Amino acid sequence: MVFRMEPAKIKAVMPVAGLGTRFLPATKATPKEMLPVVDKPAIQYVVEEAVAAGIRDVLMIIGRNKNAIANHFDSVPELEEKLTQKGDDTKLGHVQRSSELADIHLLRQGEPKGLGHAVSRAQSHVGDTPFAVMLGDDLIDERNPLLPKMIEVNEQKQAMVIALMEVDPDQISLYGCASVEATDDPDVVKVLDLVEKPAKEDAPSNLAIIGRYLLTKEIFPVLEHTAPGKGNEIQLTDALKEVAADPENVDVYGVIFRGRRYDTGDKLDYIKAIVQLASDRDDLGPDLKPWLKDFAASI
C-alpha cells in the first residue's frame, strides 16, 4: 500500500504590532488594524484575502493594546442572541462572519524590533511549511487575487516569492525596492537584489515590495543574524536580500501585481481607499458616485 502525505497547508502570518502613530489620536486605544474601511476593520479584509486563497490558519503577531483584534475575531454570544431574537439575520451574519472565517492564533511580539523580528517569531507556529506574510496596511482587491499566483510560483520554483508593484519613482522611498531579471512569464521576475526604502536616486527600479510575501523556512536562520537596518529595525527586506544573493540558498522570485491595491497606512491613502471601495459597492456606490461628482465640481 502506498501512503501519500497530504501537502502541509500554508498558514498566514500577519504582523500587527505597529503603534499606528500616523493615525493618532484615533489609534490611542484602538489598533490601527481595527480602523474601519467602509464598514469592516482593515484587518478583516486581509483575513478574507487569506481565506479566499485557501488559508485557514492565521497567526497574528500582536503588540500591547491589540485586544480589540482578538475580540473582533471571537464570537459575541450576547450580541448574537439579541440579533437572533430581533430576527436581524443580515447583521447576525456580519457579526458571525469574522469569528467563523479562520482559525486565528495570537502571539505577542515582545519587544517591537521591526518586521523581520515579527516574522521570526512565527517560526514555531509555521514549522517547515511555506507561509504567507500579509501586512495589514495593504489591501488587495478581491477581484484581483494575488496570493494564488504567489503560491503557484512557490510550488513551481521551490522559492520564496514577494509581491511587487510598479510605483511612481517619487514614491519608491516608501517601499522595499527590487532589482530583477525577467523570466518567461511576464508577471514573474527573478529577484537579484533588494534595498529597503532607497532614495529615489539610489533606487535600482520602480518595483516596490507590496505587503505580501510567500516565505519558506530558510528565512529563519537568516533573520536570526540580520542586523538592524533602516530605522534601526530588523528588516525583512534585508534578510530577503541576503537569501537572493546567496547561490546556496533558495531563490527569490517576484510576482508583479497589476491589480487594484489600497494602502491604508497613511491618512490620505486611507481616505482614498474608503472612497474607492465604497464607490464600487452596490449598496453605497449609486448614491456616493453622483455626490462625489458634485462635490468635486464644487471645490
For ligand G1P, the binding residues (CB under 6 A) are: 115, 135, 137-138, 175-176, 196, 208-211, 235, 237, 265
Whether 189 contacts 182, CB under 8 Å? yes
The residue among 23 and 175 lying less far from ligand G1P, judged by its C-beta, is 175
The residue among 209 and 250 lying less far from ligand G1P, judged by its C-beta, is 209
Cell 512569464: give the residue: 185
3-state secondary structure (DSSP) of residue 111 = coil
Report d(CA 182, CA 53) in Å as an integer: 26
The residue among 62 and 83 lying less far from ligand G1P, judged by its C-beta, is 62
The residue among 17 and 102 lying less far from ligand G1P, judged by its C-beta, is 17
Kindly give the pairing relationship between strand 261-263 and strand 188-196.
Answer: unpaired
Rounded-to-10 torsion of CA 286, 36, 235, 50: -70
Report residue 25 as a C-alpha cell.
489620536
Cell 479584509: give the residue: 45
Q: Cβ of residue 121: shortest distance to ligand G1P, in angstroms?
A: 16
For 53, list phi and psi in degrees, rounded to 5: -90, 10
Which residue of the chain is nearest ligand G1P when measured via CB? 176
3-state secondary structure (DSSP) of residue 226 = coil
H/E element holding 18?
A: none
Q: Cβ of residue 264: shortest distance to ligand G1P, in angstroms?
A: 10
Q: Cβ of residue 260: shortest distance to ligand G1P, in angstroms?
A: 15
The residue among 83 and 236 lying less far from ligand G1P, judged by its C-beta, is 236
Report d(CA 146, CA 117) in Å as an integer: 25
Q: How far is CA 222 from the centre of its chain?
A: 21
Q: Cβ of residue 14: shortest distance to ligand G1P, in angstroms?
A: 12
Report d(CA 212, CA 176) in Å as an integer: 12
Q: Cβ of residue 235: shortest distance to ligand G1P, in angstroms?
A: 6
The residue among 69 and 209 lying less far from ligand G1P, judged by its C-beta, is 209
The residue among 116 and 130 lying less far from ligand G1P, judged by its C-beta, is 116
Q: Cβ of residue 175: shortest distance to ligand G1P, in angstroms?
A: 3
What are residue 33's DSSP bridge partners?
none
The residue among 175 and 270 lying less far from ligand G1P, judged by its C-beta, is 175
What are residue 179's DSSP bridge partners?
193
Q: Cβ of residue 242: shortest distance to ligand G1P, in angstroms?
A: 14
For 23-62, give the DSSP string. Answer: GTTTTSSS-GGGSEETTEEHHHHHHHHHHHTT--EEEEEE
Q: Cβ of residue 296: shortest distance to ligand G1P, in angstroms?
A: 28
